[in-house]
Chain A
Amino acid sequence: MEITVRVFGELTETIGNRHTITLEDGANIRSLTRRVAAQTGQRRQGYLGEYRIGGNELAILLNGRNVELLQGLETKLRDGDEVVLMIYTMGG
């Protein structure tokens, strides 16, 4: 299945702003983020740039819903899903 990943905020500095990721059926958010980390050459395990995968600072949205409101990193993916990775800091 194919998943579209869009990246917002300063994370684009380290991993770019858009990826299309092909995954085996039954994959979840955890396997997706691992694949993104591998494809973008992240050295620190469990991190994208400075941000821990599953940590509070890195938000992961699946079709607009924060995965924390779903099953977190275990949330299952389906073909055509859109995942957003973003850092919520800049603002006011």
Chain B
Amino acid sequence: MKGWNGKLLRVDLTKGTTKVQEYSEDLAKRFVGGRGFAVKLLWDELKPGTDPLSPDNMLIFATGPLTGFIIPNSGKLVVAAKSPLTGGYGDGNIGTMASPNLRKAGLDAVVVTGKAEKPSYLLIDDDTHEIRDASHLWGLDSYKSEAKLKAEHGAASGALLIGPSGENLARIATVVSQEGRAGGRPGMGAVMGSKNLKAVVVHGTKDLPAHNPERLSELGRKGFQVITGKDNYKFWKRQGTMATVEWCQEAGTLPTHNFREGVFDYAPDIDGNTMAAMTIKQRGCHNCNMNCGNVITDTEGRESELDYENVVMLGSNIGIGDLRQVGTLNRMCDELGLDTIGAGSCIGFAMEASERGLIKEDIAWGDFEASKNLLTDMAYMRGLGATLGLGTRKAAEVIGGGAPSFAMHVKGLECSAYDCHLCPGMSLSFGTSPIGAHHKDAWVISWEISTGRREHYDEDKADKVIEFQRIRGGMFESLVTCRFPWIELGYELDYYPEFIEAATGVTMNLDDLWALGDRIYALIRAFWVRERGGAWGREMDYPPARWFDEPLTRGALKGQHLDRERYDGLLQVYYDRRGWDRRGIPTRATLEGLGLAAEAARLAEHVELG
């Protein structure tokens, strides 16, 4: 096989062993890499019902067949495991130098099981694979830990780490890298912490063989040129994702006060224009010329790398209208290894619980000092933070008294920063996202608003969600290249089959890649159903109750809310298109049609298939 190294590293932290394993060509061709590899490995090898924080859970780091080549926006990898936040499939992608380094060390993925006796880190340096003592790093924040590791292993190495949040098993802990890159919202950092694994350091120097190196190099060079030549490149460079604050405010979809409203009085103080005037530098991933991280100085004079989701969840959603304060909270999350979206949602949830008198703590909307304290307390799982650090679903169960009605999550994962009181399509996207309410897969909101049919539940909204899930959740997450060139600048999808062919020699047209997306989606759904012992129903795919039951009270959309019956109709269209039954479970015929006959047989041991 060219393009793929064909090897993954198995690490058993309990036994203290590492082993390189060759994997099959079938896995490469049918699941490609990244998310595809992750779900296939979890499905095949993880015993159903495994406690996500037990040594038996598998923590997977997976690259794709384009990783490590000079191809636009390819410096990422996928981190995946069974989620301790949701109890289902969890993953995320993260921009990190560990990604190209892993491929140049001759590997495509790392699968970690077991639990080390004491704090450890994994060192991969070409053919050296060692589990090393991390006692000197345990307890340090992710920035300090990374600095120490880089000092020891060289600036060319890449590191994936956890902060105190992961060590203390906060269920909203992510894996972080390079002072501001983070991935694995559904508690992937907690899984790493449960294994006593502080970091993975990777350094690789080997040649990465491509099927047609000259062609690949030419395509890559051209790709970078096409991207910088796009009409909107200049504007993107100035504001990045932060331009979204302005249009979400105008469209009434800017999460405010724990998603109670869609407009925020101080939105102009935290928007892209305000940020552009403060930006001191930009950061991006390896092999990227669209640097999306805009760095400002926070209230403590430290650098903080901003983007839309972080700023809104730690800004308008908790009532903070000062961008430097938001910057401080954001930087703290990165140091502590907390998910910025989940953390912002948990703080907003706590503020509302306080307002309703459901908790004894007095935490007002917009209270910056209290927010800082809550972040630290969630990371160390102490005081109220010990409850909030479990995520809003669990925290609401603990607090009780109607709290579940304002816990803003789907399947246990907190909603990303789009208020959907009047966005049935984006609600369906959150509802059917394979990890819970995340925007990574079907980010249809921009399309939905611009069509001017926001309040409609037309069938084409289900089609659009599936189209985006195939492109973003299937193709990009398995190739592990960034979706931004396509979604933001209009970089054409037709380039990707060409990249694949030049890298691997395998012909995959866009239809093959959409089938890949469908296969991955069906298998992830099967994984969820199996983990829940077959107890699955369509209510699992509903957005938070608030969007149905509590109309907006402000702005141009005052009085608007989702309609439950019509949402359910749209969900049924989605199931019909996917070939899933009324419970939202892929039928046997659908699974078999996607080449998953063996998987269907195993799923049938847990639930009757339609």
Contact = CB atoms under 8 A, between A and B. Distances in A.
Interface stretch (A22-30, A34-42, A60-68): A60-68
Contacts of A88: 247, 251, 445-447, 449-450
Contact of A89 (B446, B555, B556): B446
A66 B452 contact: yes
Nearest to B235: A10
Nearest to B555: A64
Contacts of A61: 250-251, 556
Given A8-B246, A65-B556, A66-B449, A90 B236 contact: yes
B376 interface: no
B239 A92 contact: no
A92 B246 CA distance: 14
Given A90-B243, A90-B244, A69 B252 contact: no
A5 B155 CA distance: 50
> Max chain B CB contacts within 10 Å: which of A12, A59, A67, A89?
A89
B309 interface: yes
B228 interface: no
> Max chain A CB contacts within 10 Å: which of B243, B244, B445, B557?
B243
Interface string A38-57: 00000000000010000011
B250 A84 contact: yes
Contact of A68 (B244, B250, B452, B556): B452
B452 A59 contact: yes
Interface size classification for chain B: 35 or more
Interface in A62-92: 63-69, 72, 84, 86-92
Contact of A91 (B231, B241, B556, B557): B241
Contacts of B557: 64
A8 B449 CA distance: 15
Contacts of A16: none
A92 B439 contact: yes
Contacts of B232: 10, 89
Nearest to B250: A84
B143 to A, nearest CB: 25
B440 interface: yes
A8 B252 CA distance: 14
A53 to B, nearest CB: 13
Interface residues of A, number: 27
B132 to A, nearest CB: 37
Nearest to A17: B273
Given A66-B454, A90-B244, A91-B445, A9 B235 contact: yes
Contact of B450 (A59, A69, A92): A59
B488 interface: yes
A57 B450 contact: yes
Contacts of A90: 235-236, 239-244, 488
B451 interface: yes
Contacts of B453: 68
A55 to B, nearest CB: 9
Contacts of A68: 451-453
A9 B451 contact: no
B455 interface: yes
B309 A92 contact: yes
Nearest to B453: A68
B555 A91 contact: no
Interface of B: 231-232, 234-236, 239-244, 246-247, 250-252, 308-309, 416, 439-440, 443, 445-447, 449-455, 487-488, 555-557
Given A9-B247, A91-B241, 4 more contacts: A57-B450, A69-B454, A88-B446, A90-B488
Interface of A: 8-10, 12-13, 50, 56-59, 61, 63-69, 72, 84, 86-92
11 contacts: A8-B250, A59-B251, A59-B452, A84-B250, A89-B487, A89-B488, A90-B239, A90-B240, A91-B446, A92-B440, A92-B443
Closest 5 CB pairs of A and B: A68-B452, A64-B556, A10-B235, A88-B446, A90-B243
